[in-house]
Amino acid sequence: MIIKKRIKNLISQFVKEYPDKNNTETMWQEPLTAFADAKDELFYELKQYVSPTHALPVDLLPGAETVVTYFIPFDKTIAKSNIEGPEASRAWAKAYIETNKLILDLNTHMHNEIQALGYNSNIMPATHNFDVVKLISDWSHRHAAYVAGLGKFGLNNMLITEKGCCGRFGSFVTDAQIEADERKISENCLYKHKGICKKCVDRCVNDALKVGSFDRHKCYGMCLFNDKLHSDLSISDVCGKCLVNVPCSFVNPVKKA
């Protein structure tokens, strides 16, 4: 339990200090952290539900014992900036880029801290480790976070945590044996909970998201449009319209229903 608390505190402190130390435009809220047993059978099932090539924790780190996952919520002003219009706001695109850098820096920092404790961990980038044809990642931070009990998937295919879904997920694998968190059974999505809401479907600007289906190529087409729109920035293939101005943006809406 001591190392578990230590890792949570290190992640929280790093995110808190990051904007001032790196002069970012993006601001973030307090992160959530959850832990999964690297041998959890759900990691094996991801080869069926995500991709046959989806990695196992042991593929990423020999001797893997624990997968550490975290959710970094955006400041609410970022979400508000992305509500209007079909294109992603500049603030949203910048938040995507700066959070990707934050996640890589955080995982590097945690690698060093965990080594100081006598263990090892891998250094995992935030994104762009996916098959460009299938548009499926060989390691999904969101699915790892689901296995760890950090949230439940909503109709928008996003993981809804106790602090909503408006933010980014990160993860890394360590050979430190840490007690896993419990996965909850109940849903966090209002539609999956009692068949109401569907606001994320209404907000999809490229007709990619429907109640019974999701066209990832249409979705990515809009993301590429936004990347070109903000071509003066780094890679910003992002949209986020189905995450903002919805009941699950920053809370678990089922608890308020």
Q: CA-CA distance, 208 to 197, in Å (whole number)?
A: 17
Which structure tokens are listed for 253?
């809406």
Asked, for residue 231, whether it belongs to a domain, the answer is: yes
Asked, for residue 187, whether it belongs to a domain, the answer is: yes
Asked, for residue 132, whether it belongs to a domain, the answer is: yes
Strands 167-174 and 159-160: unpaired
What share of the chain in percent tops pLDDT 70?
Answer: 96
Strands 152-153 and 136-137: unpaired
Asked, for residue 254, whether it belongs to a domain, the answer is: no
Q: Which amino acid does the sequence have at 83?
A: I
pLDDT at site 250: 98
The number of C-alpha atoms within 13 Å of 164 and in the hemisphere containing its C-beta is 20
Could you report the per-residue pLDDT of 48-94, keeping only the tens digit for each? 888 888 899 999 999 999 999 999 999 999 999 999 999 999 999 99
* E strands in the chain: 32-37, 66-73, 130-131, 136-137, 152-153, 159-160, 167-174
Total number of domains constituting the chain: 1
Asked, for residue 257, whether it belongs to a domain, the answer is: no
User: Full-prediction pTM beyond 0.85?
Assistant: yes
Q: To the nearest whole number, what is the mean pLDDT of the chain?
A: 94
Asked, for residue 255, whether it belongs to a domain, the answer is: no
Asked, for residue 31, whether it belongs to a domain, the answer is: yes
Could you report the per-residue pLDDT of 3-41, keeping only the tens digit for each? 999 999 999 999 999 999 999 999 999 999 999 999 999
Q: Is the pLDDT of residue 134 over 50?
A: no
Q: Is the pLDDT of residue 131 over 80?
A: no
Q: CA-CA distance, 174 to 68, in Å (whole number)?
A: 8
User: Sign of dihedral through CA atoms 133, 231, 128, 215?
Assistant: negative
Q: Is the pLDDT of residue 237 over 90?
A: yes
Asked, for residue 87, whether it belongs to a domain, the answer is: yes
Domain around 135: 2-249
Q: Is the pLDDT of residue 174 over 60?
A: yes
